[in-house]
Copies of this chain bind each other. A is one copy, B any other.
Amino acid sequence: MSDFKPFDAEFEARVRAFITGMPITRLLGLELARLGPGSSELVLPYREELSQGGGIFQAGVIGALADIAGGAAAGTLLPSGQVLMTVDYTVKLVAPGAGERLIARGEVAKPGHSLTVTSANVFASKEGRERLCAVALVTTMAIDLPKARRPDAGT
């Protein structure tokens, strides 16, 4: 589907360093499973702390996962020296987030110099079977990395 061209060969290492370096990534226990040009796959193992109770991932956690998956996919098409900021995301919860893990797949719908729109689907994986639990659209804006910041300090 996506035949996007990244700016350079370092896109994967750059996005991986960024995502894995975010403190929120560690708090959630988020894993970056796969990156391609314009696409991403993230995995979030279930822990009770991420739930609203009853073994169900809380909706805001599912939305946060979709946001990060969208940002990761969009980030693969960024040139070095730019970072992303989410400006908008919409998430529709279509089934309870019940399972051993959530899997979020981001796919750039339309890249842009300033704004990039990405769709992200979130699946709940239970006993080896995936079930769609949320669909999302994420808009990110590219901003120039402040020179004073460390490469991993952005968004």
Binding site for B on A (CB under 8 A): 21-24, 26-27, 48-54, 56, 58-61, 63-68, 71, 85-96, 109-110, 112, 114-115, 117, 119, 121, 132, 135, 137, 139, 141, 149, 152-155
Within the complex, the shortest CB–CB distance from A31 to chain B, in Å, comes to 15
A114: chain B residues at CB < 8 Å are 114
The answer to whether A94 touches B109, judged by C-beta atoms less than 8 angstroms apart, is yes
**Is there contact, CB below 8 Å, between B60 and A68?**
yes
Report yes or no: B139 in contact with A92, Cβ–Cβ below 8 A.
Answer: yes
Complex copy number for this chain: 4
Contact status of A52 and B24, CB under 8 A, knowing A139-B88, A155-B58: yes
Assembled-state Cα–Cα distance A93/B70 (Å): 15
Q: Roughly how many angstroms separate A128 CA and B69 CA in the complex, as a whole number? A: 34
Choose among B22, B27, B93, B110 the residue that contacts A86 (Cβ–Cβ < 8 A).
B93
CA distance A121 to B152 in the complex (A): 29
Can you list 21 A-B contacts (CB < 8 A)?
Answer: A24-B51, A52-B155, A53-B152, A54-B153, A54-B154, A56-B155, A59-B64, A60-B63, A63-B63, A86-B93, A87-B92, A87-B93, A88-B93, A88-B139, A89-B91, A90-B91, A94-B112, A94-B117, A109-B121, A109-B135, A135-B137
CA distance A26 to B47 in the complex (A): 13
User: How long is the Cα–Cα vector from A51 to B25 in the complex, in angstroms?
Assistant: 9
Residue of B with least CB distance to A65: B60
